[in-house]
Structure formats: structure tokens, C-alpha cells
Chain A
Amino acid sequence: QQQVKQSPQSLIVQKGGISIINCAYENTAFDYFPWYQQFPGKGPALLIAIRPDVSEKKEGRFTISFNKSAKQFSLHIMDSQPGDSATYFCAASNGNTGKLIFGQGTTLQVKP
């Protein structure tokens, strides 16, 4: 019963292109939606996060778009660089319980 569904599983993008990763959730009690980045052999690290009272958040080349009615959110990486090659996880948290659930992950490869 995957509560957060992420797609695609893998993504190949040319340098300078736009990478887009999508996530959907079911539980309307979720009220915090972070994205994490993980490099091989390392633990995940927070990249950017959004709360459901806004529809978009941008930090540098990274943007989260959030659609509360559709229960979907996405990560856009503009001007993708080879250094962005990593695994990306979306997640959702219930502030009342503290429960933090992750999606299945997307392996991004940016070709030079």
C-alpha cells in the first residue's frame, strides 16, 4: 500500500535540459512535502520542501509544483548538470504523527 507513488523510476536528460519527477499521494493528512537527493554510498539529504498552502516553491534551479486538489507534486530541475546525477526521493509527512513516508525514488542521469 504505497502511500506516495513516484515516477519515473529512471530518467536520462541531456546537460542543460529540464528534469521532471512526479509524485502522487493519497493521505490528505499529509501536510509537508520534501524532496531528498541521494548520491551513491550516502544517506539522503534534503533538497527542497513545500507546504500545501503554496502552489510553487523555487530554490535556484530546483522548483516544486504542488497541486493540492489532484494530490500531486513534482520536482523540476532546470538547466540540469552532470553533478545533478543522483537518486531523488519525494516524501510526505503527517505533522500530527510525525510519520515521514518516501516514494520509490528516481535515478537521474544527466549526460554531458
Chain B
Amino acid sequence: DAGITQSPRHKVTETGTPVTLRCHQTENHRYMYWYRQDPGHGLRLIHYSYGVKDTDKGEVSDGYSVSRSKTEDFLLTLESATSSQTSVYFCAAGGQNTEAFFGQGTRLTVV
């Protein structure tokens, strides 16, 4: 896992509730990413961070927000979860144009 830890690993939540997923890294990587993986769509970038408090949108950012108050932590928040946000979420961290290391993923089910 190269020092990337995601929590929780599994979560079931109800439609309309807020959900926060946490990504923690131990290697002081500058860049951190949140992706969602769905069959037929591959890995789609939700948001990414290029430094503390510096974030930008990815391909599928609607309905998601992120925060990075410390180098090691990158939080993904679903303000009001919907069934379309049922997915496997991956966090990654890396340097500029170098290997990105992925966590083990969080399986989120919105019922």
C-alpha cells in the first residue's frame, strides 16, 4: 500500500446523509487524488490536491467536496449521498509525474 490508508473500507449509508471518506499517507507526497471506479468507466478523477489547502476539480466533481488541511490527510465528503454515488472510491498519492500509490479502496453503498 506504500503508506496509503483509506477509512472506512466499507460503508453503507442512506440517501441524503453526509459521508466523509478519509485518506492518510505517510510518505509526504505532494499530490493526492480521489477517484471512483465503476464498471465500464474505469477510474474517474473526482478531485485532486497539489498541496495543503490547494485543490482542484476532476472529471466528476459534482456532489463531492474535498479538504486537505495537512499534507498527510485528504478528505472526500459527499454532502448529501445519492444512489448514483454508490461506487468504489480510491485515494492515491504521489509526486510530479512520478508513481502514484493507491490505497485499498472504500466500497460505498448508498441505499
Q: Which A residues contact B (CB, under 8 angstroms)?
A: 1, 3, 6, 9, 31-32, 34, 41-46, 49, 51, 89, 93, 95, 97-105
Contacts and interface: CB of A to CB of B under 8 A. Distances in A.
Nearest to B32: A98
A93 B104 contact: no
A101 to B, nearest CB: 6
Contacts, number: 63
B62 to A, nearest CB: 14
Given A6-B42, A43-B102, A44-B90, A99 B97 contact: no
26 contacts: A31-B97, A32-B97, A34-B100, A41-B105, A42-B105, A43-B4, A43-B90, A43-B102, A43-B103, A44-B90, A46-B99, A46-B100, A95-B96, A98-B30, A98-B50, A99-B56, A100-B31, A100-B92, A100-B100, A101-B45, A102-B42, A102-B43, A102-B45, A103-B42, A104-B41, A105-B42
